[in-house]
Amino acid sequence: MLTTSQQIVVVGAAGWLGSAICRAIAERGQPLRGILRPGGPRWHIEDLSMTLRALPSPEDGRGWREALADCGAIVIADADLPFLLETERSTAVHRLRSILIAAKDVGCPVLLISHALTCATPSETVPPQGWSEDSRYIPGTARWEPAELLFAREAELYRFVAAGLHAVILNPTALSGPGDVHRTQELLSSPDQDHLISTADVRDIARTIPHALLHGRSGRRYLLGTEPRPASSHSRALPHGVPGSWWETPVDARRARHELGFRPRPHTQSRADEERWARQVGFILERCSS
């Protein structure tokens, strides 16, 4: 059982979602250790009280064990869009495997942040009932390599769960809210205005983390997202190559609501806060300034 005095390790601490998670944990007064890639931006987390550590290489098993030493839990939130677009699938799985081996060695429970794409059904169109945690992605369906990478990481995690590791998976839909330091939108395509998009505010996901660590059931996935809204009401863009119909169906987040207390804020608030933050930090985002 995780206590408030135990340190939480966040892998990907400087990313859009990772930094929101770190901020939520720090505001609770929980000891925090952030692991981040060398050379990336960190100005947005410099005000947080936490220990920072460089990301060990996948081959550095000792480095990962030291990084996780004396921690109460590890949150793996490193799969942001730059990581997904720049990393080979085999490399991503190798790195996750190194983390999981170290977590198993030190007896540390794991919370993996994945994506709702792995909750899609095995076809190019999603049936009317929408996505759910019990849906299973079949490789090759999305025709988008990052989706294959995400699925491979989940499959690797389940192998460790079968071997006794306590691990939970969160599957958010398209991210929204402030803090997109990597300017993700510039890496994505503009959505058709007729498309409906389900989003999950990074702050709402972050608030769910403590509940997921305490109450999440090992081996379970939890889908986090709002009901789809017209693309014109969002400043988020969409991944190239993913069928538009994948974003247009209802999102069944009841499990996360009931078991983890997930409470998404109105999408209008997320959009307004996202635009306000982008202006404050000097990011000129076309859709935010329109």
Q: What is the DSSP string of 249-268?
A: S-B--HHHHHHH---PPPHH
Does some domain include residue 112? yes
Does some domain include residue 254? yes
E-strand ranges in the chain read 7-11, 32-36, 51-54, 71-76, 110-113, 167-172, 174-176, 196-197, 199-201, 221-224, 229-230
Does some domain include residue 270? yes
3-state secondary structure of 212: helix
44-69: pLDDT as tens digits: 999 999 999 998 988 888 999 999 98
Q: How far is CA 65 from CA 69, 104, 158, 251, 279, in A?
A: 6, 9, 20, 37, 40
Does some domain include residue 22? yes
| pLDDT of res. 185 | 60
Does some domain include residue 267? yes
Domain that holds residue 244: 7-289
CATH number at residue 46: 3.40.50.720
- Six token digits for residue 145: 């390599």
| pLDDT of res. 230 | 54
| pLDDT of res. 243 | 54
Does some domain include residue 1? no
**Number of domains the chain contains:** 1
Q: What is the pTM of this model?
A: 0.87
Enumerate residue ranges in the chain where pLDDT < 70: 1, 120-131, 141-143, 185-197, 228-250, 284-290
Does some domain include residue 2? no
| pLDDT of res. 121 | 59
